[in-house]
Amino acid sequence: MKNIRLFSVILLIFAGLLNAQKIGVVDTDYILSKLPQYKEAEARLNSQITSWQTEIQTLQTEFDKKKAALENERVLLVGDQLKQREKEVDDLDKKIKSMINNRFGMMGEINNARSNLTKPFQDQIWNAIKTVSEKNALGIVLDKSNNISVIFLEKRYDYTDKVLDLLLKNSGAKRLESGQKSNIGSPVRNDDEEKVRLMQGTDKRAEEMQQKKKN
C-alpha cells in the first residue's frame, strides 16, 4: 500500500513537471559568491572572527603561564594559598570554554552573525529569481545548490547568470569573475572545526589539572 502511495506521489510530481510551462535551474551559492557586497560583508565577519580567535588564544597563553607557575610553586603553597591559586587557574579555564561556546557554538555569535549577514542577500536573490521567472514564464525553478543533484543541464535551462546579472544591474556592481582575487580577506574557517580545535586545547588542560590534583 505504501509503495502504491509513493508511486502515486511520484506520478503527480512528474505530471506537474510536464504541465509546467518551463523549468529553470539556478545556483544560489554561485550567485552569492559573485556578489561584491556579500564578499565585503563576509570580510567584515572574517575580521571579527579573527579578532575573537586572537582574544581566545591570548587567554589560553595566560592560562598556560598561570598553570605552569602553579605547578612550579605547588610545593611552596599550603592551605588557602594553594586553593586560591588553583581557583584562579580553574576560573580562567572556565572563562575560555564559555567564550568558545558563546562565540563558536551552535547557537553562538558567529552563527547568528552569519545568518544576519546572509538573509538580506537571500531575499534579494529570491526577488531576482521571481522577476526572472515571471519574465521567462518559468513554472518551476530548482536550486541546484540546495542538495539537488543535477546530472545534466542544457544551458538554456540554466538561469543563474540571468539572475546574477539582474542583481548586479540593480546594485550597479560588477561581477567577481572566477579566479579574480578580491582584496576582501581570507575565507572563514569552518566554525565547528575551530570550536573543536579550541575546546580540545582547554579540555586537555583541564584533564591535566585534575590529574595533578589527584597526585
Grid cell of 73 as nine digits: 610553586
Residue 123 in this model has a pLDDT that exceeds 60? yes
| In a domain? residue 124 | yes
| In a domain? residue 125 | yes
Angle, vertex CA 215, rays to CA 213 and CA 77, nearest 5 = 60
Number of domains in the chain: 1
| In a domain? residue 140 | yes
Q: How would DSSP label each residue in 129-164?
A: HHHHHHHTT-SEEEETTSS---S---GGGB-HHHHH
The answer to whether 139 and 18 have CB atoms below 8 angstroms apart is: no
Q: How far apart are the first and last CA of the chain?
A: 66
Residue 189 in this model has a pLDDT that exceeds 80? no
8-37 average pLDDT score: 72
Q: What angle separates helix 36-73 from helix 109-135, to the nearest 10 degrees? A: 170
Q: What is the pLDDT of residues 40-70, one digit of tens each?
A: 999 999 999 999 999 999 999 999 999 999 9
Give residue 43's domain range.
22-214
What pLDDT does residue 7 have?
46
| In a domain? residue 4 | no
| Reported pTM | 0.60
| In a domain? residue 17 | no
Q: What is the pLDDT of residues 150-169, one digit of tens each?
A: 767 778 888 999 999 999 98
| In a domain? residue 70 | yes
| In a domain? residue 9 | no
| In a domain? residue 12 | no
